[in-house]
Amino acid sequence: DGGITQSPKYLFRKEGQNVTLSCEQNLNHDAMYWYRQDPGQGLRLIYYSQIVNDFQKGDIAEGYSVSREKKESFPLTVTSAQKNPTAFYLCASSKGQGGFYGYTFGSGTRLTVV
Amino acid sequence: DQQVKQNSPSLSVQEGRISILNCDYTNSMFDYFLWYKKYPAEGPTFLISISSIKDKNEDGRFTVFLNKSAKHLSLHIVPSQPGDSAVYFCAARGLYGGSQGNLIFGKGTKLSVKP
């Protein structure tokens, strides 16, 4: 079955540490995205990539970094520069720019700073 | 400035009745509008979409209506079932500028369907 896999499901980070969230898809989708969800805030775009070896900042990219070395993979690193990293992180992918059929989302990673 | 707005954070409906979820947008430069359903601790799942050149799209119990002059869309669920209880997100795809090609999401409406 094709899908998008995020790991781990839960992640705990000490203050000052960098952590990397994994996102893998086997849907042969061109575009991949990272969103952050906070209570009452909806989904906010962190980074997106329309093609391998290229990515663009979204609305809240500060304190985050990404890479897109393979079509299937789009890992997100939450750096120590991110002041409020505790949130639910969602990865998504789309064929083209996801018009009529939108994006396919992973099941999310909940990151907690301890 | 929020471009996609869901002004009702929550909605409670009796099982079997109609659920109507509303969404307003401020930018005319969207070409698709979508609805997603999300359960706690899971990713959103695509529900239904509509092109900006249409005014209605129907899929089973779900119908989306688009009123371009009012910059308003709504999702109707008939009949509502307890399994429909979830958070519903409205999204729009931008045509131009920094949002070109990306989905912009509202803050969501939590629907509770009571047996």
User: A24: helix, coil or strand?
Assistant: strand
Q: How distant, in Å, are the alpha carbons of B52, B88, B110 from that of B76?
A: 18, 12, 14
Q: Which among B45, B93, B105 is the nearest to A42, CB-wise? A: B105
pLDDT number for residue A72: 97
pLDDT, average across residues A7-30: 93
For position B19, what pLDDT does the model report? 98
Q: Which residue among B42, B51, B108 sits closest to A107, beta carbon to beta carbon?
A: B42
Asked if residues B33 and B52 have their Cβ atoms less than 8 Å apart, the reply is yes
**B84 phi, psi to nearest 5 deg:** -80, -10
Which neighbouring-strand residues pair with A13? A113
The pLDDT score that the predictor gives to residue A83 is: 87
Is residue B91 a contact partner of residue B109, using CB atoms and an 8 Å limit?
no
* Chain B positions touching chain A (beta carbons under 8 Å): 6, 9, 31-32, 34, 36, 41-46, 49, 51, 89, 91, 93, 101-108
Contacts of B9 in chain A (CB under 8 A): 40
In this predicted structure, what is the pLDDT of residue A16?
86
CB B21, CB B13: distance < 8 Å:
no
**β partners of residue A38:** A42
What pLDDT is attached to residue B15? 97
Chain A: which residues have CB within 8 Å of chain B?
A: 4, 6, 33, 35, 40-45, 48, 50, 58, 88, 90, 92, 97-108, 110
Write the pLDDT tens digit of every residue in A45-66.
999 999 999 999 998 999 999 9
Q: Give the β-pairing of A10-13 and A4-7.
A: unpaired
**In degrees to the nearest 10, what's the CA dihedral of B46, B48, B54, B58?**
170
Indicate the pLDDT class of residue A40, thresholds 50, 70 and 90.
confident
Q: In DSSP terms, which residues pair with B112 in a beta bridge?
A: B12
Structure confidence at residue B58 (pLDDT): 97
- Collect the ranges in chain B with pLDDT lower than 50: none
d(CA B99, CA A71): 22
What are the chain A neighbours of B108 within 8 Å (beta carbons)? 42
Torsion angle, alpha carbons of B76, B77, B80, B86, to 10: -100
pLDDT of residue A44: 92
pLDDT at A97: 67
* pLDDT tens-digit readout, A73-113: 999 999 988 889 999 999 999 987 666 778 999 999 999 98
